[in-house]
Amino acid sequence: MASPSSQTILITGASGFVASHLIHAFLEGGYNVRGTIRSPSSIEKIKAAQGPLSSRLSFSIVPDLSSPPSAYEDAVKGVSGIVHSASPFVMTPKDVKSELLEPAINGTKNVLEAAAQYGGPELKRVIITSSFASILDLNKGYRPGYVYTEKDWNPATYDEAANSDNGGFAYFTFSLTTICPPWVFGPSLNTITNLDHLNESTEAIWKLINGSTKSIPPIDFGGFADVRTVGQAHLKAFEIEEAGGERFLVGLHFDYQSAADAIREAIPELKDRVPEGTPGSGLNFQETLYTPDGSKAEKVLGIKYIDLKTSMVDTATGLVAAEKRLGWKA
């Protein structure tokens, strides 16, 4: 196998919260990374987040998620792997099809077609960053005691792209792997410059700690993964041969009560701002809520999950630092 230093990995949506950690994981792994961005204006911020590692980071302009395959021609040339992380995530979409499925399907189709048309013989794997939302059946509610696994996968995004009528897909010389995390929490590598414009998962924790939430919120998404775990999962999904053609649910249980308990215990200055609820009651979640089973990713990819307490404390600590830096007052 070629050494990491001789390989370049393309990561789409390079300015995103999750993408910044994907970039970091591959750079730390010794790879060169090429990120797609909408405009050059985001380059310096992205590079700053990677520190000295940014010397192996380059960029390619792709104007939009709906851009045609030809827009990816320069981005795809010469890469050994592609991580397609530029996909919409809306927690409460008004129209699942138009806001989530169609953009994700079309974006995935375009990347796969570009890989098929412009990728060279060195391209060995494409990894799609999907979501637990593609596994979760919202019509069945909380499903107490039910355990979700990769077998519950809603195949629309992946299969519609891979089974497209476009003849180019018949000549794939690379394998496809899909990573499905639920909520993604953890510290931001990109400097937070505006607390009113956070990614959706970080915003959920910001609302929990900024004094605006007076009671423990109901569970809207009963799973999470720390963003650093997600980064490692993508790296291993590229490197491990057995991961080719597989789908991985990468996540653990999440509830707001346990999140609040962790933050109130670890960060005293937030104790009066974070609702108390009923401490410890989140541990009884199996009685009222489904469970995401992320054990396949542990077994095949060899990842080690960062627990909920660590992820919550690190997320909150980063937000507290940002509010002090920005002069925000509760």
Which value, in Å, is the radius of gyration of the alpha carbons in the chain?
20
Return the CATH number of the domain spanning residue range 7-184+224-251.
3.40.50.720
Q: Model confidence over 109-153: pLDDT tens digits?
A: 899 999 999 999 999 999 999 888 778 887 788 999 999 999 986
Residue type, 272: D
Average model confidence (pLDDT) for the chain? 91
| Residue 119, pLDDT score | 96
Q: Between 24 and 64, whose confidence is greater?
A: 24
**All structural domains of the chain with their residue ranges:** 7-184+224-251, 186-221+254-326
Task: State in words which class domain 186-221+254-326 has.
Answer: alpha beta
Q: What is the pTM of this model?
A: 0.92
Residue type, 151: K
Q: Model confidence over 291-305: pLDDT tens digits?
A: 999 999 999 999 999
What residues contact residue 298 under an 8 Å CB cut-off, 6+ apart?
304, 305
| Residue 169, pLDDT score | 45
